[in-house]
A and B are shown apart, each in its own frame.
Chain A
Amino acid sequence: MNHLDALESQSIYILREAFRTFDKLGMLWSIGKDSNALLWLVRKAFFGHVPFPVIHIDTSYKIPEMIAFRDRMAKEWGLDLIIGQNTEALAAGMNHTKGRVTCCTALKTEGLKATVEKHGFTGIIAGIRRDEEGTRSKERVFSPRGQNAEWDFRDQPPEFWDQFKTDFAPGTHVRVHPLLHWTEVDVWRYIRRENIPVVELYFSRNGKRYRSLGCAPCTAPIESRAATVDEIIDELESTRTSERAGRAQDKEAEDAFERLRAEGYM
C-alpha cells in the first residue's frame, strides 16, 4: 500500500463513519481542487454513488469559471446540488469593501449556517486540511459545532484510535473533515493518479495561476509557469510560499482567520 492508497483508505473510512452516523448529511463543495478530490473519494467510498446532497455556498462573487465548472460537473455526475446564498445580505449590498472578514462572515459563514438550518443537516463534510493554516492544523476529524455553529477550539473532544465523536446533543451539528491528514501536494498527486477534473484556473496562463480559489475580489493568482498537473507537483515540491498566500481575508489581523473559524467558517 503506497502513500496515496493509505490516505485514500483513511478518507474512505471517515466518510463511511459519517454516512453511518448522521441522518442528515451533506458535503460542502467549494468547486476547488480539494472538494473535487473529496467528491471523488465519496464515489470511491460508496462504489460510484454520492448518497447525500452536495452544498455550494455561493457568495455571488465567485470567479465565473468556477460557476460554469460547478454546473457542468453537477450535471455530469448527477449530483443533488443545494446552492446556499445569503440573499438578504447581498440585497443590503454586502461586499468586501465593508471589510473582508465582515464580508466572509456574512456571505460564507452566515450563508452556511442558514443552509444547515433550513435543511436540518446534522453532519457537514468539508475538505479542509491541517497543512493549510494554523487553526485548521488543530482541528478534529469529527469537529462538533454548538447551537450557533460556533467552534469551541479551547475545549475540543478527545479523538484517538479512529474513534470519532459520533454522539452529539440535539440542536448541534458536526463538521467532518476527511482530508485533514492530506497535504496540498498529496491532493495534486491524487488528482494526477485518478484523472480528477479541476477548474482551468489552477493552470498557468500568461505566467500566473490560482493556487487557491475563492471570491474574485479577495483571491489573487500567483506567479507560476506550471501549466500541467505534473508541473504543479514539481512546483509544490520546491516552493516555500504558503498555499493561502493569495487569500486576502486571512491577513486583516493576527487572528482574523481564527475568529472567522471560531464563528463557524469552514
Chain B
Amino acid sequence: MTDRDAGAQPLKIVIVGHVDHGKSTLVGRLIHDTGSLPEGKFEAIQAMCQRRGMPFEWAFLMDALKSERDQGVTIDTAQIWFSTDTRKYVLIDAPGHKEFLKNMVSGAASADAALLVIDAEEGVREQSRRHGYLLHLLGVSQVAVAVNKMDLVGYSQERFAEVEREIRAYLGEIGVTPTHVVPVSARAGGHVVNAAPEMRWYHGPSVVETLDLFEAPLPPTDLPLRFPVQDVYKFDDRRIIAGRIESGRLKVGDTLLFSPSNKTATVTGIEGWNVSAPAISAGAGQSVGVMLDEQIFVERGEVASHLDQPPIETNVFRARLFWLGKRPLRVGNRYLLKVATARHLVEVQQIEKVVDTTDLSSAESEDVGRNAVAEVVLRSRGMLALDEFRAAPRTGRFVLIEDYDIVGGGIIGMEGYPDQRHALTVKSTNIFNVEHRITTPARWRVNGHKSGVIWLTGLSGAGKTTLSLEMERQLFLKGYQVYVIDGDNVRHGLSADLAFSPEDRAENIRRVSEVAALFADAGFIVITAFISPYRSDRDRARAIRPDMFHEIYVKADLDVCEQRDPKGLYKKARRGEIEVFTGITAPYEAPEKAELVVDTGKSGVGDCVGALLDYVERNFAAADLQRPGEQAEAKPGAPATRRASTF
C-alpha cells in the first residue's frame, strides 16, 4: 500500500465576498471549464432555470436548496470536488449575505486558502471587508482576489486598478498580502480557466492558475506537542488515553506533562486496531490512543505536552472574537468556553474595544452585537491550559456556548497577563510544615491586637505609599506592632533579580505575599503597598491566610494618577520609555470584593487614613482574644491593652 494508493489530498479553497458579487457563478464556471461537472448536471440546471423562466444560472450548481434557488441567494455553505491538471480541490462556497455569517464562518474555517470575489462595478463592499477580516481571524492566511464582472465595466483596466488598490490597501492593514489579484468575468468565462481576449492588458495568472499556485499546508509537527485528552477508555484490560495530536510529535518513551493538573507520566505504547505493527511515534493531525506507565488520574480537557514546552496556565486571557449570538455579549455575562477538548465557565471581564471591520476603526462599547468583532478579556474560576494563537493556533482558539448554541469564536492573546504556571508549581520536595510552639493567637494576646495583612492595591500614583506610611506611623504611636512592605524597597533586595514582565511581576507579588503572611504569623499588622494589578495574584495572596487577609482598594482615576505622577513614571510610559506600565500598556484589574475602598480622588489623605485606622480598630481588636474565664481588658470597638510605645 503506497501513498499513491491513498489518493491525493485535495486543497480546500473557500470562495468568499459580498452578496451578489458572483461567488456561486464563479464556482459553477470553474467546475464546468475544468470539465468536472457530472453528466446531466448542466441539463438539470438548464431545466430548473427554464421552469423559473430565467436565463442560465451557474449559481444553481451550488445552491442545492430550493429556497436558495427561489430567492436567488446562497443560504448555507456547500462543498464540491474538482481537479485541475496540477491537483485536486474541494471548493467551499460561502454565503455573502450578512444574515448568514455563521454559515460563512462554518465554510471558511476549514479552508487552506481563500478566493475573495469582488464585483468590479460595485467595488469593495461591507462583506468584502468583513470576510477579509474574518479569514485572518479564522487562520486562513493565503488569499487571492478575483475582481469579477469585468464585462459590466467594459473590461476597463482603470477600473480594475482602482478596485485592486482599494482591496490591497484594506488587506494590507490587517496584515494580509493577496497572492494575486485577477480580473475575471465569471459569466463569460474570462480568466477563470480560459484566456480573455478582452483583457489582453492583464498578464498575470487566471483564477485556476492562482489556485494551483497556493501552497499546500503542512501539519504543524514542528510546533510544541499539544495532545488534548479527548477521552479515557477502558473497554478491556488496557487503559487508553485517546485524543488527537493538535501539534508536534510524541513517541514511546516520552514523558508527558498533563496541564492544568500538572501530572506526569511516560508513554509506554501507542495503541491501534488492524495495524500491521504498533506505532512508535505519532504526529500532528493523528487521532491516537496512548498507554502510560503510571495509572495517573487524567480526564478529558487536559492537555499533554513535553516538560520543556508546556502550554500557558491562566484563569484570564485576552481574546479577539467574532460574535454570532442573537443576544449581545456583555460585561459580566457568563458563557461556556470550549478550547480544544476542555470546557470551562467563563465571565466577560471587560470589552476593550469593538472593531468596525469596514474601516478598522475601534470604539469602546458596553456590548458586542451580532456579527461584530471585538477584543475582550475573559476570566474563568479554574485554571485553563491554553496557548497564544500566534504560538500554537489549534490550542490558541476557542468557541463560546450560550444555552445550546455556539455563539462566538475567538483567538487567544496574553499581552499584559502572566503565565501562572510557576506561581502554581511547588518545586521543593521532602518539606514538612513545622508546628510553632507559640501560636499566633498567643502572640496576639501579648501584643493586645490581632495580626494580619492589609493589602493595598491601586494604580501607580493612587496614594498607596503615602497612606501606608502615615497609617504605620499612627498605629505605631498607638502601640501596634506594624510594618510596611513597600514595592520599591523589595525591588532592591528580595526581588532584585526580577524585571517587569507579567511573569516577573507575578513572582514579585508571590514573594511579597509569602513574606507578608509570615509577618502576620509573627503577630504583626503588615501593610503592603503594591500596584498588584492582577486579581489572580491577589487571590493567591489571600489564599495563604484567608482569615487574616484584608484587601484595600486605593482608588483613583487614571487621569488623576497621571496628573499626580509623583515619580514621573506616567510621562516616561507615555513617551514609550517604559514598555509595560499598568493603566497605559498593561491592565489593572480592580478588586471585586475588597474589604474596604478608599477613594483618594474624592477624599484627602487625612480622611483616607482615618477610614483605614477606623477599619483597623474595628477588625483587629483584641476583645475576643480572651481565654475562657479571663476578664475582658478592652471594650469592644476599641483597640485596648496598648503597651506603651518605647519612646
A: residues with CB less than 8 A from B are: 1-6, 8-10, 12-13, 16-17, 19-20, 40, 43-49, 51, 130-131, 133-135, 137-138, 140, 153-154, 156-161, 163, 165, 167-169, 183, 185-186, 189, 192-194, 240-242, 245, 254-255, 258
B76 beta carbon closer than 8 Å to chain A: yes
A-facing residues in B27-60 (Cβ within 8 Å): 37-41, 47-48, 51
Residues of A within 8 A of B286 (CB): 1, 5, 9
Q: Whole-angstrom distance from the CB of A107 to the nearest CB of chain B?
A: 24
Contact A158 B106, beta carbon cutoff 8 Å: yes
Which label, helix, strand, loop or mixed, suits the secondary structure of the B interface? Answer: mixed
Distance, CA A182 to CA B286, complexed state (A): 17
Distance, CA A258 to CA B67, complexed state (A): 10
A-facing residues in B2-18 (Cβ within 8 Å): 3, 5-10
Q: Which of A17, A44, A156, A159 lies in contact with B274, CB distance below 8 A? A: A44
Q: Which of A130, A140, A153, A183 lies in contact with B65, CB distance below 8 A? A: A153
Contact with A along B91-133 (1 / 0, CB 8 A): 0000000000011011011100000000000000000000000
B79 beta carbon closer than 8 Å to chain A: yes
Distance, CA A183 to CA B38, complexed state (A): 14
B404 beta carbon closer than 8 Å to chain A: yes
Q: Which of B48, B51, B324 lies in contact with A158, CB distance below 8 A? A: B324
Apart from A158-B324, A160-B399: 16 A-B pairs, beta carbons within 8 A:
A1-B285, A9-B286, A16-B231, A45-B287, A47-B235, A153-B65, A156-B76, A158-B103, A160-B110, A161-B397, A161-B399, A183-B81, A189-B6, A193-B5, A194-B274, A254-B66
Contact A47 B8, beta carbon cutoff 8 Å: no
A-facing residues in B264-312 (Cβ within 8 Å): 271-274, 283, 285-287, 289, 300
Distance, CA A159 to CA B48, complexed state (A): 30
Q: Which of A1, A12, A193 lies in contact with B219, CB distance below 8 A? A: A1
Contact B102 A20, beta carbon cutoff 8 Å: no
Distance, CA A241 to CA B78, complexed state (A): 20
Q: Whole-angstrom distance from the CB of B355 to the nearest CB of chain A?
A: 19
Q: Which of B8, B66, B78, B138 lies in contact with A258, CB distance below 8 A? A: B66
Distance, CA A16 to CA B324, complexed state (A): 27
Contact with A along B159-189 (1 / 0, CB 8 A): 0000000000000000000000000000000
Q: Whole-angstrom distance from the CB of A251 to the nearest CB of chain B?
A: 10
Distance, CA A47 to CA B400, complexed state (A): 32
B386 beta carbon closer than 8 Å to chain A: no
Considering the complex, give the chain B residue whose CB is closest to the CB of A192: B5
Q: Name 19 A/B residue pairs within 8 A (Cβ), A-sorted.
A: A3-B7, A3-B8, A5-B6, A9-B244, A9-B285, A16-B287, A17-B230, A47-B240, A47-B271, A158-B102, A158-B106, A159-B106, A168-B404, A193-B6, A241-B38, A241-B39, A242-B38, A254-B66, A255-B66
B338 beta carbon closer than 8 Å to chain A: yes
Residues of A within 8 A of B219 (CB): 1
Distance, CA A220 to CA B290, complexed state (A): 46
Q: Whole-angstrom distance from the CB of A162 to the nearest CB of chain B?
A: 8
Residues of A within 8 A of B244 (CB): 9, 12-13
Residues of B within 8 A of A161 (CB): 109, 394, 397, 399, 409
Q: Whole-angstrom distance from the CB of A5 to the nearest CB of chain B?
A: 7
| Known pairs A1-B283, A13-B287, A161-B109; A20 contacts B38 (CB<8 A) | no
